[in-house]
Structure 1
Amino acid sequence: MTIEFDWKSGVAAKDWSKTKEIELKKLYDTVSAIHEEMFYLRERDEEMQELNKETNSKMATLSFFSLLLCLSVAGLQIWHLKSFFESKKLL
């Protein structure tokens, strides 16, 4: 025994039994679906742009603090080496 299912979703799932009027309704439903998808994609794009801006801002802040830390450590190393060599009377 074989059972076949014809699974449809979206515009294809609706029952269309009239002629021209039904074709117009099909086209209208298709255009509506595309229109809704465009709004959804536009909303997602705005969310992604906002996330991108936030990420860039955080990365710039972290990069600045990383650079500041590296320069501080380099300054401390120079100060320590200078005082070390002065105490040994090599400088």
Structure 2
Amino acid sequence: MDVSVRMTTPHPVIGVLRAGMLLGLGWVVAAELAWASFGLPWALLLLFAWLLLQRFFHGAVQRLGEAITTETARRDAPRAPDEETPC
């Protein structure tokens, strides 16, 4: 039995998640530098801002995933033979 593996491009959500991970690590490093340079209150302020942005980012990724699922289901739904296929 010949089983071939077809390489495909990653899903768009994967790219968004990777970008979010890198941005998240940058905020943690910035908070550490703020702690070393300016003290704990500035580090906590940066971490709090990072937390708020992560919550916003998570919501955006969740909405993107739901929109992709809805669009895929709508596109794959059975149609009448005389109905046009949407672009």
State TM-score, norm by structure 1: 0.48
- Which structure has the larger Rg over C-alpha atoms? 1
State TM-score, norm by structure 2: 0.49
By relative contact order (CA 8 Å, sep 6+), the higher-ranking structure is 2
